[in-house]
Amino acid sequence: MRFHAALALAACLAPAVAIFEDDAHHIDFHHALIGRPKHDATFFQKPYAGSKASLLYTISQNNTIGAVNPKDGTLVWRHVPPADARGQTSLRAGEDQDTVVSAVGDRVTAWSASDGRIVWDARTPGATVEDLEILEQEDGITNSDSKDPIVLLSGAEQAIKRLDGKTGRVKWTFEDASGDTPFQLSSSPSTIYYISLHAPMLGGSKLRVTSISPVTGKKIDQYTLSSDGEIQNRDDILFAGANTAAPLLAWTDKARSVLKINIIGTKGVTSITPPSGEPVQDIILHAPNRINSLAHFLVEYKTRKGQAAEVYHVDLKKNNIKKAYDLPGLFGRGTFSVSTSDANVYFTRITLREVTVTSSASDKILGKWEVKGIASLVGSWPVQAVSEVVVKGGSATAVRTALYFSNGQWVLIRNGEVAWERPEFLYGITSATWAELAEQEALAHELEVEGHQNVVSAYVHRVSRHVRDLEQLPAWLQSIPNRVLSSVIGKNDESAIDEVQHDHFGFHKLVIVATEQGRLAAIDVGSQGKPVWNVDLHDLAPGVTFTAPSVKAFRGYVEVKDPASPSAWYVNATTGGLLSPVDLKHESPVTTDKNIITFDLLDGKLKGFLNSAQGSAEPIWTFTPPSGERITSYVARPSVDPVASIGRVLGDRRVLYKYLNPNLVLVTSVIEASQSASIYLLDSASGQLLHAVSHKDVDVTRPIPATISENWFSYSFTLSSSATSTRGYQLVISDLYESSLPDDRGPLGASSNSSTVQPSDAKGDSNKPYVLSQTFQIPEEISHMSVTQTRQGITSRELLVTLPNSNAIVGIPRAIIDPRRPVGRDPTAQEASEGLVRYTPHLLFDPKWHLNHKYELVGIKNVIACESGLESTSLVFAYGHDVFGTRVAPSFAFDILGKGFNKIQMLVTVAALFVGVLFVAPLVRRKQINTLWQA
């Protein structure tokens, strides 16, 4: 009940700065990412037996399990396992089952296929799951009720286990004490095959195949295959067919001159020679993974120029492999996919130009579609594909293929047309920065040129610039009727998205992002997060392996750096093209600062250097935490942080002056032994300690996010279990003022000049701020904090906190967490006029403060804010696992008309009033005349 009351109170406190329902999904965007899908664990599957539509299931290389609607590419459900999962991950589904089973690290989990709920969960502490297969048939009989998964474990326990498909309980265990490296499981209708790499004393390794009875889990047979030293580790095995009618094992030599295939269960090895001509770069085997399909497979040969393929049939009775037909070699990159329909096997060949479907039985082309390319796929090629084919009366009537392209787009092509694309390359952004659009940059540059010239030449330059601008006048005049019409009818959203040029409000800003995969991309935050360009950093800088690239924006270009390399690369912000340092000279901004003090964390101490002379010179100041303390992080006040008012007007019209120091740094440090955390406020110019505070009973293993802006800072921590008074999470906010007294400017108030480098010299007392703090108990952990930014700083600010448990970003209005809220009493009339309400120790996050509303933002690492063209509005961009962007107006959108303003209604009202005046005017005139006569 108390909770209800608190909730109601919080709701009353909150000024309604929530998102309007009709603005949601228009002003904001969310890329719910999965990452690069794993080819062998991506499939179309019906979510339950008898379902009409199928979903596209996948597990990505970062272990995210997801179900995507193949119609429009939206995510149906998704699950992100903890980041520390090791081993081979896989995702499998039994036919006609309502579950999909995943194996990640030490966990085997069955998920409800339609909504992603957990059905059962089995763990193997200490062991890792190497492989997972679903037992489709048992002694040749399909058990449609529930299909049991079999798992291969390594690590603490090397064994094969059969789990119950309904509960996850272990049915039997087959222990493998041979010490071989476990590789894979494969099943045929009657037997389970366990393939391991057997390393004999004399180099090389052999493949050991053990057959196990699916019913009892007892060993039936075992044999080894000699690979003639061609297989050294698991990566050398090209293909190990799982769950096929004829399970195959294929490997090749280093030169890819011969392909060797073994039908698992037999000892014979068939050698296949690739077609002569171009040297083969890669060989890929495509075989159906349905147990009751025909035992046909396709071998794809990739060469430098194109690809060719051969289709083979396996004769199960004679245990041999025969070539059926060739698919002609084609120039250009492409890929193949396998799909089945009943027992028939179809191969879909996808190139950049066309999609063709052939049956495995003959080389007749069953269907052919031209691919209509789209702009975002230019310069890339399909890497892997899964298909679904509809065949009626001997010809393919429809085909849809989910393709992963080399530029990281996951695309579905339906009958030759691109149905949707998912920008999976945006997964794992390590660094992001705001960049201005080229047009704005050009104007700013021109204005700067004028500013640095003498009056006459600046005037000539200006006039000539205006004359040049006249060229665009006719086009602008032509666009007026359209714009007026669309704005009245109310369809301006769509047009605004396309036209980056007509950006009146400065909402279209580019964010340049670099990912851990080494991709660099630009996203237009104003256009629903549309990727503008997308390049591979490895193309820009051959030979460098990017691990955690960082980006920094300059005027019109971006600097890219990586810890793996000492050099930096410069990239044009609008096109993504590489710039040579020569191009940059005339674009470099004019810096007037002579002395810049930089600081960094070195050897556990924070050190300040003059003119970034790190390493060589002596630091000009050093901040050493007390012994036993470890600095966990530091955060500086943003370099661009405009403040509109230097004071805060109180209810009685007196002024409390803000302590505004541009060089503030907030340092957080912890002591593990005593479970305490300390916060230090430093002046980065002088290295002076301005304020220090310490908290006991802090869980130092959890993050302590902090931020600093204007004249206040905030941080949050988790209370440890040793805390006796209360448990949970706390948020602390501190205001800095020049003096505790209103209308007083502290010790330096009277002096016209003061030095930040030596704040405490002759005056006797240093210019330390007066700090006012308040602590709030919050319902959940905060992983990151930042602050909204507006152009002039007039708009009140919002503290943006990332809640990893709620998958949300919450904007807490600054007025709510004001440390001046009166404690233990109701506010006086004067305090109430300042907007202060009585302090409550708990702060509940109102759902209306959530910037992301119904979106679920997974794994957000950082949130960056930027000013827009409007004072009321700040742009926000969040990245990490997912990508999210929105606009926030902490003090309402006071300088722009919202969607609530009905333009048609306004026009109708004006027209109605005009008509009314036309009617009423003669009446009034007559009446007035009558009055005069009557009087």
Number of chain residues interacting with other proteins (CB under 8 A): 78
- Between 16 and 829, CB nearer to other proteins: 16
CB of 811 to other proteins, least distance (A): 12
Question: Between residue 645 and residue 684, which ones bind other proteins under the rule CB under 8 A?
Answer: none
**Cα atoms found within 13 Å of the Cα of residue 507, Cβ hemisphere only:** 24
* Interacting span for other proteins (CB under 8 A) from 159-167, 236-244, 314-322, 376-384: 159-167
* Interaction between residue 52 and other proteins (CB under 8 A): no
Residue type, 394: G
Rounded to an integer, what distance in angstroms lies between the CA atom of residue 669 and that of residue 672?
Answer: 10
Q: Pick one of 257, 501, 611, 721: the residue that binds other proteins (CB under 8 A).
A: 721
* Interaction between residue 701 and other proteins (CB under 8 A): yes
* Interaction between residue 398 and other proteins (CB under 8 A): no
**CA neighbor of 680 nearest in space, from 650, 649, 704, 701:** 704
Q: Pick one of 74, 86, 123, 765: the residue that binds other proteins (CB under 8 A).
A: 123
* Interaction between residue 282 and other proteins (CB under 8 A): no
Q: Pick one of 478, 567, 592, 934: the residue that binds other proteins (CB under 8 A).
A: 934
CB of 61 to other proteins, least distance (A): 21
215 near 205, Cβ under 8 Å?
no
Kindly report the number of other CB atoms within 10 A of residue 651's CB atom: 15
CB of 488 to other proteins, least distance (A): 17
Residue type, 263: I
500 near 524, Cβ under 8 Å?
yes
Q: Pick one of 96, 253, 744, 780: the residue that binds other proteins (CB under 8 A).
A: 780
- Between 80 and 681, CB nearer to other proteins: 80
- Between 128 and 210, CB nearer to other proteins: 128
Rounded to an integer, what distance in angstroms lies between the CA atom of residue 840 and that of residue 906?
Answer: 44
**CA neighbor of 718 nearest in space, from 676, 772, 671, 681:** 676
Q: Crossing angle, helix 903-934 and helix 473-489, to 10 degrees?
A: 80
Question: Between residue 428 and residue 447, which ones bind other proteins under the rule CB under 8 A?
Answer: none
* Interacting span for other proteins (CB under 8 A) from 180-188, 214-222, 760-768, 802-810: 802-810
Q: Pick one of 142, 341, 720, 766: the residue that binds other proteins (CB under 8 A).
A: 720
Kindly report the number of other CB atoms within 10 A of residue 416's CB atom: 16
In sequence order, what DSSP letters do the residues of 272-327 get, joined into one string? EPPPSSSPEEEEEEE----TTS-SEEEEEEEESSEEEEEEEEEETTTTEEEEEEEE
CB of 6 to other proteins, least distance (A): 7
- Between 739 and 777, CB nearer to other proteins: 777
- Between 108 and 525, CB nearer to other proteins: 108
Question: Between residue 865 and residue 924, which ones bind other proteins under the rule CB under 8 A?
Answer: 898-900, 902, 905
CB of 352 to other proteins, least distance (A): 37
Evaluated on CA atoms 859, 865, 870, 871, the torsion sign reads positive
Rounded to an integer, what distance in angstroms lies between the CA atom of residue 214 and that of residue 191?
Answer: 6
Residues 724-763, one symbol each (x = binds other proteins by CB under 8 A, - = not), give xxxxx-----------------------------------
- Between 398 and 723, CB nearer to other proteins: 723
Q: Pick one of 332, 642, 847, 916: the residue that binds other proteins (CB under 8 A).
A: 847
- Between 753 and 934, CB nearer to other proteins: 934
Rounded to an integer, what distance in angstroms lies between the CA atom of residue 390 and that of residue 434?
Answer: 46
Residues 606-625, one symbol each (x = binds other proteins by CB under 8 A, - = not), give --------------------
Q: Pick one of 21, 145, 471, 603: the residue that binds other proteins (CB under 8 A).
A: 21
334 near 406, Cβ under 8 Å?
no
CB of 807 to other proteins, least distance (A): 7
- Between 111 and 657, CB nearer to other proteins: 111
Rounded to an integer, what distance in angstroms lies between the CA atom of residue 917 and that of residue 921?
Answer: 6
CB of 429 to other proteins, least distance (A): 21
CB of 253 to other proteins, least distance (A): 39
User: Rounded to whole angstroms, what are the CA distances from 712 to 17, 791, 818?
Assistant: 21, 18, 10
* Interaction between residue 935 and other proteins (CB under 8 A): yes
CB of 15 to other proteins, least distance (A): 11
CB of 613 to other proteins, least distance (A): 41
- Between 166 and 654, CB nearer to other proteins: 166
* Interaction between residue 828 and other proteins (CB under 8 A): no
887 near 900, Cβ under 8 Å?
no
Reported as type and span, the H/E element at residue 10 is helix 2-13
- Between 838 and 842, CB nearer to other proteins: 842
CB of 228 to other proteins, least distance (A): 37
* Interacting span for other proteins (CB under 8 A) from 120-128, 482-490, 741-749, 763-771: 120-128
Residues 205-234, one symbol each (x = binds other proteins by CB under 8 A, - = not), give ------------------------------
DSSP 827: P
Question: Between residue 162 and residue 201, which ones bind other proteins under the rule CB under 8 A?
Answer: 163, 166-170
CB of 351 to other proteins, least distance (A): 38
Q: ∠ at Cα 75 (71, 80), nearest 5°?
A: 150
Q: Pick one of 280, 413, 844, 865: the residue that binds other proteins (CB under 8 A).
A: 844
* Interaction between residue 718 and other proteins (CB under 8 A): yes
Q: Pick one of 146, 572, 632, 806: the residue that binds other proteins (CB under 8 A).
A: 806
Q: ∠ at Cα 233 (232, 237), nearest 5°?
A: 95
Q: Pick one of 25, 26, 198, 842: the residue that binds other proteins (CB under 8 A).
A: 842
- Between 119 and 258, CB nearer to other proteins: 119
Q: Pick one of 616, 627, 752, 931: the residue that binds other proteins (CB under 8 A).
A: 931
- Separation of CA 36 from chain center: 12
In sequence order, what DSSP letters do the residues of 703-717 get, joined into one string? ---EEEETTEEEEEE
* Interaction between residue 18 and other proteins (CB under 8 A): yes
- Between 243 and 718, CB nearer to other proteins: 718
In sequence order, what DSSP letters do the residues of 103-127 get, joined into one string? EETTEEEEEETTT--EEEEEE-TTE
- Separation of CA 457 from chain center: 49
Neighbour-count burial for 568-589, b at 16+ CB within 10 Å, e otherwise: ebbbbbbebebbeeeeeeeeee
- Between 20 and 223, CB nearer to other proteins: 20
Rounded to an integer, what distance in angstroms lies between the CA atom of residue 357 and that of residue 170?
Answer: 42
SS3 category, 609: strand
Kindly report the number of other CB atoms within 10 A of residue 694's CB atom: 15
* Interaction between residue 824 and other proteins (CB under 8 A): no
SS3 category, 842: strand
888 near 57, Cβ under 8 Å?
no
* Interaction between residue 3 and other proteins (CB under 8 A): yes
* Interaction between residue 856 and other proteins (CB under 8 A): yes
Spell out the SS3 assignment of 721-786: CCCCCCCCEEEEEEEEECCCCCCCCCCCCCCCCCCCCCCCCCCCCCCCCEEEEEEEEECCCCCEEE
Q: Pick one of 69, 674, 777, 796: the residue that binds other proteins (CB under 8 A).
A: 777
Question: Between residue 60 and residue 119, which ones bind other proteins under the rule CB under 8 A?
Answer: 77-79, 108, 111-112, 115-119
